[in-house]
Amino acid sequence: MAKATKKQALGRGLSALLKDPEHDIKSAEDKNADKLVGHIVELELTSIEVNPFQPRTSFNEESLRELASSIKELGVIQPITVRKLDFNKFQLVSGERRFRASKLIGLKTVPAYIRIANDQESLEMALVENIQRQDLDPIEISLSYQRLIDEINLTQEQLSERVGKNRSTIANYLRLLKLDPIIQTGMRDGFLSMGHGRALINIEDPQIQLEIYEKILERSLSVRDTEKLVRELSGGDNKKPVSKSTNLSPEYKKGIKEFSEYLGTKVDIKMASKGKGKLIIPFTSEEDYNRIKKMIQSES
Give the count of alpha carbons within 13 A of 140, CB side only.
22
- The dihedrals phi and psi of 29, each to the nearest 5 degrees, come to -90, -15
Residues 6+ apart with CB under 8 A from 229: 212, 215, 221
Q: What's the CA angle centered on 16, arms 13 and 17, to 5 degrees?
A: 90
62 classed as catalytic:
no
Q: Give CB contacts under 8 A, 24+ apart, made by 277-280.
A: 277/242, 277/243
Cα dist from 213 to 31, 77, 179, 196, 265, whole Å:
59, 42, 11, 9, 20
SS3 content of the chain, % helix, strand, coil (to 5): 60, 10, 30
Candidates 49, 61, 66, 96; catalytic one: 96
Q: How far apart are CA 89 and CA 157, in angstroms?
A: 36
> How many CB atoms sit inside 10 A of residue 259's CB?
18
Q: What's the CA angle centered on 211, arms 205 and 217, to 5 degrees?
A: 135
Q: Is there a contact between 82 and 93 (Cβ–Cβ < 8 Å)? A: yes
Q: Which residues are catalytic?
A: 96
